[in-house]
A and B are shown apart, each in its own frame.
Chain A
Amino acid sequence: MSLDSTDVQKIAHLARLQINDADVAGYANSLSDILGLVDQMQAVDTANVEPLDNPLDAVQRLRVDSVTETDQRDQLQTVAPAVELGLFQVPKVIE
């Protein structure tokens, strides 16, 4: 599988990553190399193999739906880029 510059731009958009124009060709090369490497997997017959997503076959642990944390909003917002009235500020979304 080989990717070109248009593919890289499209993937970067999906990932919401700005990639400088000068770097696009380099990424196309390295991503193509990586996909070439991972294509070794395609030679293996895995028709009857269940995918493994947790190495210990653990399942999601559930807890009682009760309040366990106190309000730490002020403390957590000390590291926010922009806050007003306890809300995170972002550029205007709706005109």
Chain B
Amino acid sequence: MFDKTLAELAQGLTNGDYSSVELTEAYLARINAEDSQYNSFISITDEQALSQAKVADAQRAAGNAGVFTGLPIAHKDIFCTEGVKTSCGSKMLDNFVSPYNATVVEKFNSAGAVSLGKTNMDEFAMGSSNENSFYGPARNPWNTDCVPGGSSGGSAAAVAARLTPAATGTDTGGSIRQPAALCGITGIKPTYGRVSRFGMIAFASSLDQGGPMTRTAEDAAMMLNVMAGFDPKDSTSLDRDVPDYTADLSQPLKGLKIGLPKEYFSGDLNPSIAASVQSAIKEFEALGATTKAISLPNTALAVPAYYIIAPSEASSNLSRFDGVRYGHRCADPVDLEDMYKRSRGEGFGEEVKRRIMVGTYALSEGFYDAYYKKAQQIRRLIRQDFIDALKEVDVIMGPTTPHPAFKIGEKTANPIDMYMEDIFTLSLNLAGLPGMSVPCGTTEGLPVGLQIIGNYFAEAKLLNVAHQFQQATDWHQQTPANISTSGKES
């Protein structure tokens, strides 16, 4: 039963094959028995989950069940959940039991979903390997010596290990797509503003976007139907109709125009990742799509521009953690400044401090034009590359990452080595475009991700393209060798 998708589990609940309580108990037992290998959860919320499951079963018995009623999921620990520790992977918030729900959490609760727990992540979503978590690294189920990617590494590992059928994630520079690629699952970062940021602990507000991490495109569409929509509590939320993302999944791809940016197939790209992506593109051609060589000439500038814009916004956002109203406070402060400095020095980990300092420097007097303003100008050039390209093609494809999952500890010595892992994903956040990663192969026993990029608000098109690929291939059904998916239906 642990190999079933959300759509299949929804059908099982409808058929009465099992109750939500039985399903929830089975997943909780599996997490409690197996997560010590992966460290993918920070909190397992047995009690709340079972009480949500009971409510869901009662709703079903009363004839009031919706599509999501009784389905178990997990939330990245960046989403505030009322009455549950919401740590954001940081010592700073290790003692923070949120007094309110994020809008995304509220929407899943209203839809009748069951939250199994909160997943591991890089501290404040800053990282590409999950090694920057106060709770220790999550591990990749395909090879537990390897990272699951980050920052939504716990969500990706938990879905890949079949500890939850799906999870929420957030993506500021690739934090849904990169771990999805490294763990062999499906993930979509929607258009900026499509999913509410209220109660999603802020890293870089002009880039942050929540989205689903699932086994299939169909499940991602089901999740996005719950997550997307206008929220007056988020000042950059889009006030725009939300389509039914499952409606167009079955559209044929005949005539689809795929752009292949030359910059995504050069440089430091692992040759077997390139080969897997090329095979995937052949598969799309067999489905009736055509390809066109395109160029995104400012691709290489995405990393430098991102590493000014994201840290600058982070240095501002993270100034709220001062030991006054919530979070870590140092012992015996001698005065207010001592309290600020030691609370922050003790509460934040190394990479978070590094990015706060980069941002503080970039925004400081005399340097603003050379760094922040320059990066925002480059941001416009990067966006224009995509706008021009998407006049010629329907979607853009390439690898999600330049390399497969790397060993834990392999890239921690030099932060820039880690930053370069996001070279293909960062530019979408700068442009605000939706992007998705789907499994398209393996190399040396590790999954390879295909990135599919679409125009603004084209999530339904991306999900359609991904779903058709998943109807024609079985990469998304492959399971790490050591994972058992059988299990009694409790």
Contacts and interface: CB of A to CB of B under 8 A. Distances in A.
The judgment on whether A and B are partners is: yes
Interface of A: 3, 8, 11-20, 23, 27, 30-31, 33-35, 37-42, 44, 46, 49-56, 58, 60-61, 63, 72, 75-82, 88, 90-93
B356 A15 contact: yes
A88 B345 contact: no
Given A33-B414, A34-B415, A16 B337 contact: yes
B79 interface: no
Given A40-B300, A41-B374, A51-B380, A34 B339 contact: no
Interface stretch (B104-112, B129-137, B303-311, B460-468): B303-311
Contacts of A30: 354, 414-415
A41 B375 contact: yes
Contact of A18 (B238, B325, B341): B341
15 contacts: A15-B360, A16-B340, A20-B345, A33-B415, A37-B416, A44-B298, A51-B373, A51-B380, A53-B376, A55-B383, A78-B99, A79-B98, A79-B325, A81-B329, A88-B325
A85 to B, nearest CB: 15
Contact of A46 (B322, B357, B374): B374
B99 A75 contact: yes
B17 to A, nearest CB: 41
Contact of A55 (B192, B375, B381): B192
Contact of A58 (B97, B236, B337, B345): B236
Most B CB contacts (10 A, CB to CB) among A12, A41, A46, A77 go to A41
A17 B375 contact: no
Contacts of A49: 377-378, 380-381
B326 interface: yes
B257 interface: no
A50 B354 contact: no
Interface in B348-397: 348, 350, 353-354, 356-358, 360-361, 364, 370-371, 373-381, 383
Contact of B338 (A17, A75, A82, A91): A91
Contact of A81 (B315, B323, B336, B356): B323
A52 B384 CA distance: 11
A56 B304 contact: no
Contacts of B338: 91
B381 A18 contact: no
Contacts of B305: 38, 41
A82 B416 contact: no
A73 to B, nearest CB: 11
Contacts of B379: 51-52, 55
A23 B327 CA distance: 24
A78 B99 CA distance: 8
Given A15-B315, A50-B377, 20 more contacts: A11-B364, A16-B319, A23-B350, A27-B357, A30-B415, A31-B361, A34-B358, A35-B358, A38-B307, A38-B371, A41-B301, A41-B305, A41-B378, A46-B377, A63-B232, A77-B325, A81-B326, A91-B334, A91-B338, A92-B335
B304 A41 contact: yes
Interface of B: 95-99, 191-193, 206, 232, 235-236, 238-239, 298, 300-301, 303-305, 307-308, 315, 319, 322-327, 329, 333-342, 344-346, 348, 350, 353-354, 356-358, 360-361, 364, 370-371, 373-381, 383, 414-416, 419, 430-433, 456
Contacts of B376: 51-53
A3 to B, nearest CB: 8
**Residues of A contacting B: mostly:** loop
B416 A33 contact: yes
Given A38-B304, A79-B96, A11 B378 contact: no
A61 B192 CA distance: 16
B357 A58 contact: no
B381 A46 contact: yes
A91 B304 contact: no
B325 A91 contact: no
A90 B235 CA distance: 31
A34 B337 contact: no
A20 B298 CA distance: 39
A17 B356 contact: yes
A20 B341 CA distance: 11
Contacts of B193: 56, 58
Contacts of B360: 11, 14-15
Contacts of B323: 81
Nearest to A72: B99
Nearest to A92: B335
A78 B376 CA distance: 40
Contacts of B380: 49-52
Contacts of A37: 303-304, 307, 416, 419
A54 B344 CA distance: 29
The 3 closest A-B pairs by CB, nearest first: A55-B432, A18-B345, A51-B376
Contacts of A63: 232
Contacts of A20: 345
Contacts of A76: 99, 325
Contacts of B298: 44
